[in-house]
Amino acid sequence: MADIALSTSVRSNLLALQNTSDFIGRTQGRLSTGLAVSSPVDDAVKFFQAKSLSNRASDLLERKDSVDQGVNALKTALTATDAMEDLVKQMKGVIDSARSADKTQRTAYTVQFEELAKQIEKLVDDASYQGLNLLNSTASKLSVRFSDKSDSKLEVDGVNFKTSAFFKDDGGSTASAATEKTLLSSIGFTSVAGDGFEDYNVSQASILASFNSDADKAINALDQTISNLRSEAAKIAGNVAILQVRSNFTEEYSNVLEEGAGQLTLADLNAEGANLLALQTRQQMGIQALSFAGQSEQAVLGLFR
């Protein structure tokens, strides 16, 4: 079958309508997706530049999750140090109360003192976040990476706050061989040979004076313990501040990267909307032009009637 021959004007108008329809389809696609560049076909350079920026932003946001978890691990340790300080202060109160107590009361205070030491030990063991405990061993370490660079990270070493290493003597050194049962003698009550406070026969003035002197040493030792605890807590708090700054930076930096990717690929919806209206008008005009071209051919046909 022979092809139907179209006049030049009709063929020209059909081609113009096809181009207009293609532009309308492209514009509608941009309006529906919001993207001017959605594939390498649209603009390979811009597409891959934007993809690189988006991938970088995505990688950093994954790092931000790790940073936030690091903050939580350090906050767990900080919360524990606050509780430990409260318990040590209670131990100081027990010693002060024992100064004016009788033997029966002192026996009870000894039990209370040892229980407080036991609770500090348990608290240290419980201060774990996702399996990491920064307070029960110097071998513990928190490592948080900020980016794909190997040296862009923060490492926080753990401390040993178990009873045997946590308590200080009145000179600020680690109380030697401290356990729950020997803690009193380790921090200053050198005359404790058996159970505890009740070992002092305070009915004798000289022994009472010795007890008060030892109590002063023990309280000073607990003050040294609190001072060391606060020093370590300050280091942890400083690292928390660093991680929070990095977390905020990572979030803002990721937003900048996504904004840059958007500038390369996002469509101007106002401009595209105006383009669509103009293209639809052009399409209507093209249809009219095609109709006029057809009428010209019909006029020729009329000559044969």
Residue 298 has pLDDT above 60, yes or no: no
| Same domain, residue pair 83 and 225 | yes
| Same domain, residue pair 87 and 197 | yes
Q: What CATH number corresponds to the domain at position 219?
A: 1.20.1330.10
| Same domain, residue pair 255 and 172 | yes
In a domain, 122, yes or no: yes
- Of residues 288 and 227, which shows the higher confidence score? 227
Lowest-confidence segment of 4-13, 58-67, 105-114, 222-231 by average pLDDT: 4-13
In a domain, 30, yes or no: no
| Same domain, residue pair 224 and 285 | no
| Same domain, residue pair 225 and 281 | no
- Of residues 93 and 304, which shows the higher confidence score? 93
pLDDT digits (tens, 9 = 90+) for 211-242: 889 899 999 999 999 999 999 999 999 999 99
- For 243, the domain range is 54-264
pLDDT digits (tens, 9 = 90+) for 168-177: 988 888 887 6
In a domain, 20, yes or no: no
In a domain, 245, yes or no: yes
Instruction: Give me the pLDDT at residue 211, please.
Output: 87
| Same domain, residue pair 157 and 282 | no
Confidence of residue 81 (pLDDT cuts 50, 70, 90): very high
In a domain, 247, yes or no: yes
Residue 270 has pLDDT above 70, yes or no: no
| Same domain, residue pair 200 and 274 | no
Instruction: Give me the pLDDT at residue 275, please.
Output: 63
| Same domain, residue pair 173 and 288 | no
In a domain, 1, yes or no: no
Q: Which long-range contacts does 234-242 make (Cβ < 8 Å, 24+ apart)?
A: 236/74, 236/77, 236/78, 236/81, 236/134, 236/156, 237/78, 239/74, 239/154, 239/156, 240/71, 240/74, 240/75, 240/78, 242/154
Mean pLDDT across 265-281 = 61
In a domain, 12, yes or no: no
- Of residues 95 and 51, which shows the higher confidence score? 95
Instruction: Give me the pLDDT at residue 113, please.
Output: 93
Give the global pTM.
0.73
| Same domain, residue pair 239 and 284 | no
Confidence of residue 12 (pLDDT cuts 50, 70, 90): low
- Number of structural domains, the chain? 2
Mean pLDDT across 43-72 = 85
Instruction: Give me the pLDDT at residue 1, please.
Output: 45
| Same domain, residue pair 274 and 160 | no
| Same domain, residue pair 219 and 282 | no
Instruction: Give me the pLDDT at residue 23, please.
Output: 61
| Same domain, residue pair 192 and 292 | no
In a domain, 31, yes or no: no
Residue 301 has pLDDT above 80, yes or no: no
